[in-house]
Structure 1
């Protein structure tokens, strides 16, 4: 059993944290603060007693570090789904993702039957130069079997210091036996922007918002303008479907790239003085050419900021289905070797809309047709958005939970010739359809549906 002196150390450590926060309370509120702190101290006593019992009596000896991390995470996840504690390992992973570069091999991978399957090698990387191909199966790393590792564990072993070697054992269809490939790690850049010329339209897909997003967007625009030609170029499709978000400053920068003036996003914390407004600077990198933004149920957070800003300024027409509805801002606060990810603000579109647990409703709703094999799965699983997450922040403007609605299908066909939303966007940019006519058509269909529902209700009565 824990000695009283040990128990006192745990409690004092926790009280020190509370005390540090209490020191910032103004003198004018000292009495109420004192009462509040007294209650907190009582709760911390309870925490200390539980901790003592677990350490002394649990059926297996627990790790103190894991107990405290779990307690911290329990506190944070009880606030909302996006607040959490990042231990040193997870903090490093997050930094890699936001930087968009790391020491590694340069392959996109998944896990299949206990081994790593190559989805595709990234162009001009060590893996591509070594001849690694899509659908290769990696069974061993430096002679050690992958079987039993998670995908994340396998990826971590493949990453490492630049110029360090690694040996992969590969199984390839058509080869009689596994073979070994030696690769030297190099700096790998995660390209969050993919683009192509769709004849007379520039197509740009933004997959995430990391530190590489804005410069890569600018490069994509320049390359496509040169490839298509300014006289032939009819407009742009910015595809934000299934983009989960990322860095707030990159969302602001991407929005600014297409705007000449006005607000981009408003963020409001608990206190009025924490409110901030980000404004666009003069300089539209596509010189006013028409823009269509594609969104769906997988478009969240930073991608919703971009879609909302361009929609509110009528700089772009949004097409697709309702976005995820994550309208909160998380601040990363380093703590030792780890970090605290804490929800510190809500964000609002330029017109003052909060999309928290509501999402962005596109100007033109266009559903993707799911293949037959996916329809039953989709019907069983349903769609999930922010409003479906347990403990999500409420939308401030809503009194009733029924008013909340976010999320939609996140299906996007790999074959562009079957991509209904993309084809629809291209038709509008090429003048085969007009936004005005399509809006009227959808409004008429909605009205007819409402009348039909009302008629059925009357018959039932």
Structure 2
């Protein structure tokens, strides 16, 4: 193996030397410096193999070097070994194993972009914005994102302990989560108040566009007709670019949906809408929050810029870059950031996010008891009402409805749609 590595390094040097000889003079200096740096890499590699306190695996050492090179570029570029690459392909098809969280790397820790609906992580109470500091008692600091994700994956029905640091909570949160097969149904829908279509997209997989169209068609048939649509993209970490474009196109009849721009102008791409609106122009409200990232921001930005929808909620995550998967020899792959994407107005949301048209923070609603006032019933010798008290209905009831967790942002979206629909009817009259 040592001879193979030595020959590989020597061949690399020869190829680079030939490249330098055929390079214009003004670029020779830069190429020469690159040669020196590669030579330095070879020296370090050889020294580790010879003198490190323990014997090292050459393949793992080179993989770690590749990982370090890609991780130094940005949080989303990484090397996928054959196992991770296979898992990534399964995930985009909508089924994979693990805890059910979308993560990124920030400050050396694993940051939760969002937990996926109906997964072990969501059930355990993991929240968007949480920082995972330890996995089974071992610190995350020093691991690459790929290494951390690999440790979180494992056999179904096995447990993993994670330590979480959460904003506003002083003490670390310890959770034990049981791994499971994560099957993502990316589109779900229901009727709200009998005539409002509510559709939630939890991620953008290969089935999202077809699932969206089928869900909306079923809701319209169930209601006879709907007044409008609430498209819930909250805590949606993104996914496939082509699915984000297809979902946007479902509601737009013309104009640009999104553009991607790489380092070379010739590699820029623009994606335009086709004449088709599955909601026939009816009003749309898009819900977003800090867990809405990437593909979900493309959809929100496109519908917002074309004034096709009102975006309601809080500032989105702000991932405005495009990653390309490049298969490599040995069944692995490289995930590399190759472009930024821009909304139809030409705005990059990278590290900024989508600003909602109407900012509505998630709140908890509670019934405020009015100040106690004297009534007829408080007066001495007051007359009764002439009815059997046992038959009187309880004013307070059992409190079940009041105790339900209410989605304040959804309530505001429903009110907005009803208001728009009301004014639309007046205009027709």
1:310 to 1:15, Cα distance in 2 relative to 1, 3 A: farther
Question: Is structure 2 residue 334 aligned with structure 1 residue 340?
Answer: yes
Distance across 2 between alignment mates of 1:417 and 1:433: 27
Question: Is structure 2 residue 4 aligned with structure 1 residue 11?
Answer: no
Question: Is structure 2 residue 344 aligned with structure 1 residue 350?
Answer: yes
Kept after mapping to 1: 8 A contact 2:99/2:152: no
Deviates more, 1:274-283 or 1:9-18: 9-18
Kept after mapping to 2: 8 A contact 1:264/1:309: yes
TM-score under structure 1 length normalisation: 0.63
1:12 to 1:253, Cα distance in 2 relative to 1, 3 A: farther
Q: Could you list the per-position Cα deviations for residues 129-149 of structure 1 after superposition, in whole angstroms to 9, with x for gaps in the alignment?
A: xxxxx99xxxxxxxxxxx99x
Partner of 1:451: none
1:94 to 1:218, Cα distance in 2 relative to 1, 3 A: same
1:425 to 1:434, Cα distance in 2 relative to 1, 3 A: farther
**Displacement after TM superposition at 1:49 (Å):** 0.9
Distance across 1 between alignment mates of 2:119 and 2:32: 59
Kept after mapping to 2: 8 A contact 1:263/1:278: yes
Partner of 1:172: none
> Secondary structure of 1:343's match?
strand
Kept after mapping to 2: 8 A contact 1:427/1:433: no
Residue-pair matches, total: 327
1:170-181 to structure 2, matched below 5 A, reads none
Distance across 2 between alignment mates of 1:276 and 1:341: 19
Q: Structure 1 unaligned runs (5+)?
A: 111-118, 123-133, 136-146, 159-167, 170-186, 372-414, 436-461
Pair member with larger Rg: 2
Kept after mapping to 2: 8 A contact 1:417/1:423: no
**Displacement after TM superposition at 1:89 (Å):** 0.8
Kept after mapping to 1: 8 A contact 2:100/2:182: no
**Displacement after TM superposition at 1:369 (Å):** 2.5
Choose the corresponding residue for 1:292, options 271, 281, 285.
285
**Displacement after TM superposition at 1:292 (Å):** 0.5
TM-score under structure 2 length normalisation: 0.68
1:51 to 1:324, Cα distance in 2 relative to 1, 3 A: same
Partner of 1:422: 410
1:265 to 1:432, Cα distance in 2 relative to 1, 3 A: closer
List structure 1 runs of 4+ shifted beyond 4 angstroms: 13-20, 107-110, 119-122, 150-156, 432-435
Distance across 2 between alignment mates of 1:290 and 1:91: 41
> Secondary structure of 1:351's match?
coil
1:275 to 1:53, Cα distance in 2 relative to 1, 3 A: same
Distance across 1 between alignment mates of 2:149 and 2:66: 26
Distance across 2 between alignment mates of 1:121 and 1:46: 46
Kept after mapping to 2: 8 A contact 1:428/1:434: no
**Displacement after TM superposition at 1:157 (Å):** 3.4
- The RMSD of aligned alpha carbons is 3.7
Deviates more, 1:192-201 or 1:333-342: 192-201
Kept after mapping to 2: 8 A contact 1:266/1:348: yes
Question: Is structure 2 residue 260 aligned with structure 1 residue 267?
Answer: yes
Partner of 1:431: 419
Q: Could you list the per-position Cα deviations for residues 182-241 of structure 1 after superposition, in whole angstroms to 9, with x for gaps in the alignment?
A: xxxxx99632112111122111111111101111111111111112221xx111111111
Choose the corresponding residue for 2:31, options 26, 37, 41.
37
> Secondary structure of 1:431's match?
helix
Q: Structure 2 unaligned runs (5+)?
A: 102-116, 125-135, 138-147, 159-180, 366-402, 424-429
1:16 to 1:251, Cα distance in 2 relative to 1, 3 A: farther
Distance across 2 between alignment mates of 1:307 and 1:416: 29
> Secondary structure of 2:230's match?
strand
**Displacement after TM superposition at 1:7 (Å):** 6.2
